[in-house]
Amino acid sequence: MSLPAAETYIVSGNLLVAAPSVTNATVVQDVVNSNLLCQLAADKKLTSRFIDPAVWLDMYRNSLGKVFWQITNSNTISYPVPPLIRSLTLMKILQATFFKTLDTNLVDCIEEGIGLWLELPESSAPALLYNSKTHVEFEMDEKVPPVPSTISVINLQLSVVHSGSRLSVCSIYFKTLESVEADLFNQKFAVKDILGNVSVSSFKAELIESNYSAIRQQIIDKLGETNIRENIMLVPATLAPAGIELDTGTRQFLDSVDI
């Protein structure tokens, strides 16, 4: 039985949309819980997801593979800025890259989810959570006027779960001299203020539910009620809601993971 309509979640720093083609609510819970566990594990290991977003993303993706996500089509590119273009938006980057890999109905679901998020008050819990895990400002080592004294690091994650338990993920990360505004997806970032490349990383994954069921409760227990309550939110501002022998790598990961 499929979901009656698309649902949008903030899972720490991941804006995750569950399309109607998802088979049931249990799958959605498994997706958000496992994604949160792996995000928190990467945060703990690396201290911050903003110091080196590429390394953080590798650790997050590899951790998913250890909890029965089958990862495919992993790819990272430097977004080619078109000639004479003076500014970029995250939405235009998504349209030129990630959205082209998805069916139209999934793009519609994602755009609807982004729209719901943008309608939230800035002070709402989901908005505060996603913003805090998507961008940060750092003090620059050398302050030379008129160069700004801070830089912004953006590490945006966007996902859609669909077709049962399949997941498509996109991350966009870069540094800029500009401060990040409320309308994150449509803010025009001046090309001249972007430091280095704009990286776009994507991958596809499928949750092996028959195996995941053996570790479902262990992941819930590892996360704990507080992590689930504070890091998984249904937009708008609502809480989201055996017999398999585990391989050694999975057991060791779940026993040792620190979040």
Contact 2, 229 (CB under 8 A): no
List of E strands, the chain: 7-11, 14-18, 69-78, 87-88, 135-139, 150-162, 166-176, 189-190, 194-207, 232-234, 238-239
Given a cut of 70, whether residue 241 has pLDDT beyond it is: no
Q: Tokens in use for 172?
A: 């966009």
Question: Do residues 238 and 51 make contact, with C-beta atoms less than 8 angstroms apart?
Answer: no
How confident is the model over 3-30, as a mean pLDDT?
A: 92
Flag whether 2 is in a domain. Answer: no
**Number of Cα atoms under 13 Å in the Cβ half of residue 15:** 28
pLDDT digits (tens, 9 = 90+) for 100-139: 999 999 999 999 999 999 999 999 999 999 999 999 999 8
Strand, coil or helix: 178: coil
Specify if 174 maps to a domain.
Answer: yes
Q: At 24, is the pLDDT very low, low, confident or very high (cuts 50, 70, 90)?
A: confident
Summarize the confidence of residues 205-218 as an average pLDDT: 97
Q: Is residue 137 part of a domain?
A: yes
Give the domain extent around 186. 7-256
pLDDT the model gives residue 244: 55
Give pLDDT, residue 240: 38
Structural domain includes residue 150? yes
Q: For the chain, what is the domain count?
A: 1
pLDDT in tens, 133-170: 999 999 876 655 666 679 999 999 999 999 999 999 99
- Tell me the DSSP string of 61-82: HHHHHHTTEEEEEEEEEE--PP
d(C-alpha 180, C-alpha 203), whole Å: 26
Mean pLDDT of 37-54: 96
Angstrom distance (rounded) from CA 253 to CA 248: 9
| pTM of structure | 0.88
Q: Is residue 235 part of a domain?
A: yes
Q: Is residue 35 part of a domain?
A: yes
When pLDDT is cut at 50, 70 and 90, the band that residue 242 belongs to is very low
State residue 253's pLDDT score: 79
Residue 191 confidence class, pLDDT cut points 50, 70, 90 = very high
pLDDT over 80 (residue 178): yes
| Phi and psi angles of residue 182, each rounded to the nearest 5 degrees, phi first | -65, -40
Identify which of 218, 212, 227 has the alpha carbon closest to the alpha carbon of residue 66.
212
> Cβ contacts of residue 166 below 8 Å, gap of 6+?
204, 205, 206, 207
Percentage of residues of the chain with pLDDT beyond 90: 81
Residue 1: inside a domain: no
* 98 neighbors 202 (Cβ within 8 angstroms): yes
The reply to whether 69 falls in a domain is yes
What dihedral do alpha carbons 59, 136, 130, 53 form, nearest 10°? -20
